[in-house]
Amino acid sequence: MRKNIILLDFENIQPDSIVKLVHDQFRVIVFVGANQKRLDIEFVKAMQSLGSNGEYIQIVGNGPNALDFHISFYIGKYSEAYQGSYFHIISKDKGFDPLVAHLKENKIFCARWDSIEDIPLLRLSDKMSTNERAKEFYEKKLVNSKSRPATLKSLQNSINGHFFKFLPENELEKIVETLKTSGKIKIDGKKVKYD
C-alpha cells in the first residue's frame, strides 16, 4: 500500500485534530516555525500516538519562505526513501503550487490541501454509506476480477484494504451483509460463492 506523507505547515495551519491520520499508511511531519514555542496538548498527544510515523521539524531561521524551503527539502529526501509515496502538503500558502506541479511532472505524487479534511482519501472513507461502499467494492474489485476472495476472512481483508484500512470491524461485517442480501455473494460456512 502506498504511504501517504503529510507535511503540515504549522505556521500556516493548526488543525483541531489529526486523529484520522493515526493509521499505518500515514507518516505525519509537522513543520514548526523557529519562534513557535507552544503546541496544543491534544495535538501533541495525537502526534505521540503515531509513534515512529510522527515527527516534528523545527525550522532554522526566519524569513518569508523559510518553512517552505524546509518542506521542499523533506519532500526531496522522502521521495527517495519512500518511492511511490503520496505527499500531501497541508498549507493555505499557494506558493507551494508550482512545486507541486513540478513534482507531478517528475512522477512524484503530490498535492497541496488547505486542511487535513480536504485529503480525498479521508473524505472518501468518511462520507460513504454502507450501501455505497458495498456497491463500489463490488464494482471495482469483484465484477471483472478473475481471482475473488474465496473465504469470508479474505473477503473482509480485501474490503478493508480497498478502503485503506479505515473501517471498523462492524462496518466490514455490514458491507459483507449488504453484498449477501443484494444477492452478489453467498456465504456457505466460511466460504464465499459468487453469482
Nearest to 88 by CA among 190, 194, 2: 2
- Whether residue 62 contacts residue 34, with contact meaning beta carbons closer than 8 Å, is answered with yes
**Average pLDDT across the chain, whole number:** 90
Predicted model pTM:
0.69
- Whether residue 32 contacts residue 58, with contact meaning beta carbons closer than 8 Å, is answered with yes
Structure confidence at residue 128 (pLDDT): 81
Residue 172 corresponds to which cell in the numbers above? 466490514
- Whether residue 152 contacts residue 191, with contact meaning beta carbons closer than 8 Å, is answered with yes
Dihedral of CA atoms 117, 123, 129, 134 in degrees, nearest 10, equals -150
Distance CA 130, CA 188 (A): 22
CATH architecture, domain 4-123: 3-Layer(aba) Sandwich (3.40)
Nearest to 57 by CA among 43, 67, 49, 48: 67
- Rounded to a whole number of angstroms, the distance between the first and last alpha carbons of the chain is 29
Q: Residues 13-28: pLDDT tens digits? A: 998 778 878 877 889 9
- Write down the domain spans for the chain: 4-123, 128-194
Under the banding of pLDDT at 50, 70 and 90, the label for residue 119 is confident
Describe the chain by its helix, strand, coil percentages, rounded to 5. 45, 20, 35
